[in-house]
Structure 1
Amino acid sequence: MNLNRRNALFASGAAASLSMIPGRVLGANEKVDVAWIGVGGRGPRIISNFERSGILNVVALCDVHVDNKNMQAMKAKYPNAKVYQDWRKLFDEMSNQFDAVINLTPDHQHFPISMVSMAHGKPVYTEKPLARTFQEIDLLMAAEKKYGVPTQMGNQGHSGDNYFQFKAWKEAGIIKDVTHVDAYMNKWRRWHPWGDLQAYPTGAKKPAGLDWDIWLGVTPTPNVYDPKFHPGNWRGWYQYGTGCFGDWGAHILDTIHRFLELGMPEKISATKWVQPNDLIFPLATTINFAFPARGDMPAMDIDWYDGQENLPPIPKEFAGRELKKDKPGKFIYSKDYVFQGDSHGSTLQILPYEKYRELLKAGNVPKNFGKNSDHYTNFLLACKGEEETRSPFSVSGPLSQVLVLGCLAQRLGGELHFDRETRRITNNKLADSLLKDEVRKGWEQYYKL
């Protein structure tokens, strides 16, 4: 299919017919043929995680920078895999030659690649957060429902021990009546290294083999290459990324959001706002999310802390221990207990530890969560019809929307009121308009379900 025909296909809505193309029926001992999009950054590490499943077969490798060292290493490792620079051409030429898609691109590219994958009837694993805007996540959830393929967001802790522990402890009545959460990430990362910026960079000589037009994707500005954007530095820019909160909130708040059935907040407030900027995320923020009562669960709120020196309060039950700045985590406050946990799949402890030990000794705490597939194997087994994914877009989408609402508060400051029924911000026209974003000319077709 040539590029003009593809654009016409999506623009006309005819892409819906692609979902009717049946996928290959995989036998019990067959591997899942995967097209891997986004190799240059964490590609080798994540590929090795998928390889542990024993059922991964990489048939295509795609990256906008074909000369980067990770792409070269993966080409050597998978000499039979076809190599692409433009993911659109990959779908044009070999969509009938792979079973699933792994999407490890920057945040601003998650949306179009995931939409096209589902429209072609392909299960898709997309890194967190699911997308960069509220509207994009709405469309991804609608596409998942329409096309009916397995999906998974890459918050890998959602298949770890914390997932099974949180579920079991809530069902056992140990986690109940939660009223407040303090979540934090205070480790230095490359989200805020550029100082008080007044304008976008004016550009620099791009590395050989990098197609910057494809990297830009759906985003209209800025349109010049600069090392302050790529590689890796894109996360700190509103135009391309979701900052510290979008990156780590998915690893720290996922089980809280899911099993406490939080949905959307009613109010999001920037209670601390250090070095705000029109282009990049602030140096440090504290963001409060207010959630209403849900069924028999009380109203609760979450305070998010980021920035190296912006630490959460320490509960007295923490027994005077010092909070390590390089270790993200959370404190969960309920009527009966205070829980402490780190990120990803790390399990919770009840504070103080003596109380936890007493409960364990009495046998009142479920602690055997069985043998379960990890996040990567879970996705591949879902492609084979043997499991259901644990972080499908229907689950990870609302979590990601909470993250992007927090990013809006970090960007604009003040207080945002969110109507959970109309799904609009009611007190700030600019914030409401930013629930979706301008789309670069020539890429509009991906926003038509």
Structure 2
Amino acid sequence: MNLNILFMKEKNQLNQNNNRRKFLKKGALSAGSLMIIPSHVLFAKPEIRNSEGQLIRKASVAASDRVNLACCGIGNRGGDIMGAFANTGLANIVALCDVDMGAPHTQRRIDSNPKARKFQDFREMLDKMDTEIDAVSVGTPDFSHFPITMLAMSKGKHVYVEKPLARTFNEIELLMAAAKKYGVATQMGNQGHSEANYFQFKTWVDAGIIKDVKNITVHMNGQRRWHGWDTNMKTFPKGQPKPGTLDWDTWLMTAQHHDYHKDFVNGQWRCWYDFGMGALGDWGAHTMDTFHEFLHLGLPYEIDPVKIDGHNPLFFPQASTLAFKFPKRGKNMPKVKVTWYDGVYNQPELPEGYGKLEVNPDIPPVAGGKLVTKLSPGKIIYGKDLTFKGGSHGSTLSIIPEQKAKDMLSSLPEVPKSPSNHFANFLKACKGEEQCRSSFDVAGPLSQVFTLGTLAQRLNTKLKFDRTTKRITNNDLANQLLVGAPPRKGWEEYYTL
């Protein structure tokens, strides 16, 4: 069966809500209406459309207004995102949506936002509150990012989506195209991309301090949820009774049917190829993001699973080493090999003078607890003349060995401070005041690198990738998995928006 059939059709669909929005604006002129219609609906700039009437860009929220934000996924990490947006003082949280609105981890957020309207299905929320929502945050499992984000963008909503952007290469392609089509502000949730490391890396590349990079090592050696599982597992676990408050069918969204099991929910989804992106998708966005952007890496031409310990076709390895090879870029950037290490004891060789890398205190808890690892997540960047070590998220780089760093201290350029954190950056972009730093055109190719890496893990084979045609040329199954299995019946429309 050709898995590409249901995915490669692209249809142009007009925004069907424009007439209703015009009606609301007109109706607002009647007595009393000004009290219930938000100012961003009444006085927003006109929407921009092309000659065919298709929406190009939704008007920015007025500078004097807060952004009306709807939150999809309000427990666990989704709840953390809600809190971070609330703390900016730039958003009104007007809607809460979760497939389990009765769970303890969602109830806390419901209680703290009593005025927000509540939904269990994102489709109903976006339909009933279309004119009241400016932006949507998506803090749900990796595989469910795609349908929520596509529907929100098709309705002209700005979107903030947790990392990685989506689960398959093709879904990311469609998200990037839709972001351009609908002209909305987009941000992937790798929050360190608005912190010190972002500005330092850019400044040091521009100043020629980071140059002639040929090798990069990236490591995440913390204990993962699936470590210790039976690697001889041949089938998914048998179904269990689901919580009465959980809408399991909506939780599955586009994914193939699975019976409910506790090891599919509350973060456990990250263990499975069907639902998550493993350690690479989880931590690559926090360790590879700045060098990927500012060294202009794009997509690799080869992905080699140098080491796979505990291979299983259903869930991620106990340890893996992946070598990504990127071509020369322009005149001054040589070929680069990026080697990724995961697994508790699968640690990279450290260069002389490496020293100690402290765990960044701003890193969110892992699996509800403290990060357990002997080597803090990070990277080592080998240039022609200099070697750099760095941590995760917003952690800045250090030049090693220490004496070399001291010798260069007086010649290092001043690094600007971040004008806004990642959440404020997104909200200000909705208002036209800033540009998103991890917009889909930046975060999309980075996330596609992760999808290629997880395919190499899943199939335990070297993959050759044509960067021009965006096809895997040496493995037919892997090439089909760039698209993946067709969506469940009733969920096809999100691939045509």
**What is the CA-CA distance between 1:11 and the residue it aligns to?**
10
1:49 aligns with 2:49: no
Which residue is 1:100 aligned to? 135
Q: Match for 1:346 among 388, 395, 398? A: 395
Which residue is 2:338 aligned to? 302
SS in structure 1 at match of 2:262: coil
8 A contact 1:179–1:301 mirrored in 2: yes
TM-score (norm 2): 0.85
Aligned AA for 2:425? N
Which residue is 1:394 aligned to? 441
Residues 168-203 of structure 1 deviation map (CA, whole Å, 9 limit, x = unaligned):
000000000001011010011214453221101110
8 A contact 1:425–1:431 mirrored in 2: yes
Q: Return structure 1 stretches of 4+ with deviation > 6 angstroms.
A: 320-323
Q: Match for 1:317 among 322, 328, 353? A: 353
Aligned AA for 1:398? P
8 A contact 2:68–2:135 mirrored in 1: yes
SS in structure 2 at match of 1:305: strand
Which residue is 1:441 aligned to? 489
Which residue is 2:386 aligned to? 337
Cα pair distance change 1:118/1:228, threshold 3 Å: same
SS in structure 1 at match of 2:334: coil
Q: How far apart in 2 are the matches of 1:351 and 1:282?
A: 32
Q: How far apart in 1 are the matches of 2:83 and 2:63?
A: 22
8 A contact 1:109–1:217 mirrored in 2: yes
8 A contact 2:57–2:183 mirrored in 1: no
SS in structure 1 at match of 2:76: coil
Q: Match for 1:245 among 280, 284, 296? A: 280
Which residue is 2:475 aligned to? 428
Q: Which runs of 5+ in 2 are unaligned?
A: 1-8, 18-53, 360-372
8 A contact 2:358–2:376 mirrored in 1: no
**What is the CA-CA distance between 1:208 and the residue it aligns to?**
2.2
Alignment of 1:59-208 (within 5 A): 59-196=94-231, 197-208=233-244
8 A contact 1:191–1:243 mirrored in 2: no
Q: How far apart in 1 are the matches of 2:60 and 2:321?
A: 49
8 A contact 1:157–1:375 mirrored in 2: yes
Q: How far apart in 2 are the matches of 1:21 and 1:261?
A: 27
Cα pair distance change 1:382/1:299, threshold 3 Å: same
8 A contact 2:226–2:271 mirrored in 1: yes
**What is the CA-CA distance between 1:371 and the residue it aligns to?**
4.2
**What is the CA-CA distance between 1:319 and the residue it aligns to?**
5.0
Which residue is 1:373 aligned to? 420
Q: How far apart in 2 are the matches of 1:31 and 1:168?
A: 32
SS in structure 2 at match of 1:406: helix
CA RMSD of aligned residues (A): 1.9
Q: How far apart in 2 are the matches of 1:146 and 1:321?
A: 43
Residues 39-80 of structure 1 deviation map (CA, whole Å, 9 limit, x = unaligned):
122233222222221112100000001111232111111111
Alignment of 1:211-226 (within 5 A): 211-221=247-257, 223-226=258-261
**What is the CA-CA distance between 1:410 and the residue it aligns to?**
0.8
Q: How far apart in 2 are the matches of 1:445 and 1:331?
A: 43
Name which of structure 1's ranges 17-26 and 433-442 shifts more when overlaid on structure 2. Answer: 17-26
**What is the CA-CA distance between 1:320 and the residue it aligns to?**
8.5
Identity of aligned residues (%): 50
Q: How far apart in 2 are the matches of 1:389 and 1:414?
A: 36
Cα pair distance change 1:410/1:379, threshold 3 Å: same
Q: Which runs of 5+ in 1 are unaligned?
A: 1-9
1:293 aligns with 2:342: no
**What is the CA-CA distance between 1:101 and the residue it aligns to?**
0.2
Q: Match for 1:209 among 245, 250, 274? A: 245
8 A contact 2:378–2:392 mirrored in 1: yes
**What is the CA-CA distance between 1:13 and the residue it aligns to?**
4.5
**What is the CA-CA distance between 1:325 and the residue it aligns to?**
2.4
8 A contact 1:165–1:366 mirrored in 2: no
TM-score (norm 1): 0.94
Cα pair distance change 1:321/1:124, threshold 3 Å: closer
